[in-house]
Amino acid sequence: MIDLHYSATPNGQKIAIMLEEIGADYRVIPYDIFEGDQLSAEFGRINPNHKLPAIVDHAPAEGDEAVTVFESGAILQYLAEKAGRFLPRSVGARAATLSWLTWQVAGLGPMGGQASHFLRYAPQGQDYAIERYTKEVNRLLTVLERRLRTSPYVAGEDYTIADMAIWPGRASAFVMGMGLDDWPAMHDWFERIRRRPAVERAMERADHKAPAKYVGRHQTLNEREWSNMFGDANHAAVKGD
Ligand SMILES: N[C@@H](CCC(=O)N[C@@H](CS)C(=O)NCC(=O)O)C(=O)O
C-alpha cells in the first residue's frame, strides 16, 4: 500500500497517473493547500519542504521500514525503478528519459509556476514579471513542440515517466491562454496520452475534487489563504514556529 499525499495540481496528477499506470495499490490523502494542510508538523516529517506531492511506500522493494519520497521527479523515478516500467534500461533511452524529466521539474514546472503566480495570484501591475515568465514558458513549449514533431513520445519511441511529468501541465498552458491548437504535435501527443485508460482513471480518481480556486484564471485569496500559500504561515512552517 502506498499513501499518496496529494493536492489537485499538475505535480500531484503526475504521481496519480504513474500509480495507475503500474497498477499500484494506493490511497489518496487529499490536502487543501489554501487551507494550509501542507504546513503541519506531521506532514513536515514526510516532506521537510512542506510541498505536495509526497508518497509513503509501506511495502518497499527491500527492508521492513516504510520509505518516504518527496519531489515529483524523485517519486516518478522511485516508482519506475520499483515497478521496472516506464524508465527504459538501455543507456541512451534512460538518459533521454531522465533529461526530459529534469527539463520538466527544473524548467517548465518552475517557470510555469511563476507565470501562473503572477497571472493568477499577484496584485495587478506585474507586467514585467508576467511577460518574463510567459515568454519563457512559450520558449520551453516551442522546444517540446519541436521534439514531438520528430518523436512519438518525449524520450523517444516509448511512453515514459517523462511524458507523465509533462502531460498534466496542460492546465497551466490553458490558464496562460495558450491553446494547444497552436502546437499541433503537442496537441496530438496530449490527446494520445489523455485516452490512456490509466490516465483517465487517475483524472477521475484523484482530480474530481479540485476546487475552482485551483483552476480558475485570476484568483482573489483571503488573508489567511494568502498567508498559507505565500506569506508568514507558509514560512513559519519551515522554521518550526
Ligand atoms: N518541485 C516540487 C514542487 C512541489 C510544489 O510546488 N507543490 C505545490 C503544489 S503544485 C505545493 O505544495 N504548494 C503549497 C505551498 O507552496 O505551500 C515537486 O516537483 O514536487
Does residue 208 lie within any of the structural domains? no
3-state secondary structure (DSSP) of residue 97: helix
Whether ligand 1 lies within 6 angstroms of the CB of 105 is answered as yes
What does the pLDDT look like over 41-55, one tens digit per residue?
999 999 999 999 999
Q: What is the CB-side half-sphere exposure of residue 33 using CA atoms within 13 A?
A: 18
CATH code for position 183: 1.20.1050.10
Mean pLDDT, consecutive 10-residue stretches, the chain (241 aa), reads 94 96 96 95 98 98 96 98 98 98 97 91 91 93 95 98 93 66 89 96 75 70 93 93 68
Instruction: Report the alpha-carbon distance of residue 166 to residue 145 in Å, rounded.
Output: 12
- State the amino acid at position 144 in one-letter form: L
- Phi (first) and psi of residue 27, to 5 degrees: -125, 145
Q: Check pocket membership of 101 for ligand 1, CB cut-off 6 A.
A: no
Q: State the residue range of the domain holding 113.
A: 91-198
Sheet of 26-30, strands arranged across:
26-30, 2-6, 54-57, 67-70
Distance 71 CA to ligand 1 centre (A): 8
* Strand duo 2-6 + 26-30: pairing: parallel
Tens-digit pLDDT profile for residues 188-219:
999 999 999 999 999 888 665 566 666 667 78
Give the number of the atom of ligand 1 that is nearest the alpha carbon of residue 51: 12
Ligand 1 contacts CB of residue 5 (under 6 A): no
Name the burial class of residue 158, with classes exposed (0-12), middle (13-18) and buried (19+) by CB atoms within 10 angstroms of its CB: middle
For residues 102 and 31, membership in a common domain is answered with: no
What pLDDT shows up at residue 212? 65
Number of domains in the chain: 2
229 and 163: one domain? no
CA distance 11 to 28: 14
96, 77: one domain: no
pLDDT of residue 182: 79
Is residue 36 domain-shared with residue 77, that is, in the same domain? Answer: yes
Query: Residue 65 maps to which CATH number?
Result: 3.40.30.10
Residue 150 is predicted with a pLDDT of 97
Examine the domain organization and report whether 66 and 109 are in the same domain.
Answer: no
d(CA 195, CA 69): 28
Q: Which three cell numbers stand for residue 133?
A: 515568465
Residue 198's φ and ψ, nearest 5 degrees, are -65, -35
- 214 domain residue, yes or no: no
> Do 111 and 147 belong together in one domain?
yes
pLDDT for the residue 93:
98
d(CA 75, CA 155): 18
18, 31, 51, 68: residue to mutate for ligand 1 pocket, most atoms within 8 A of CB = 51
Structural domain includes residue 211: no
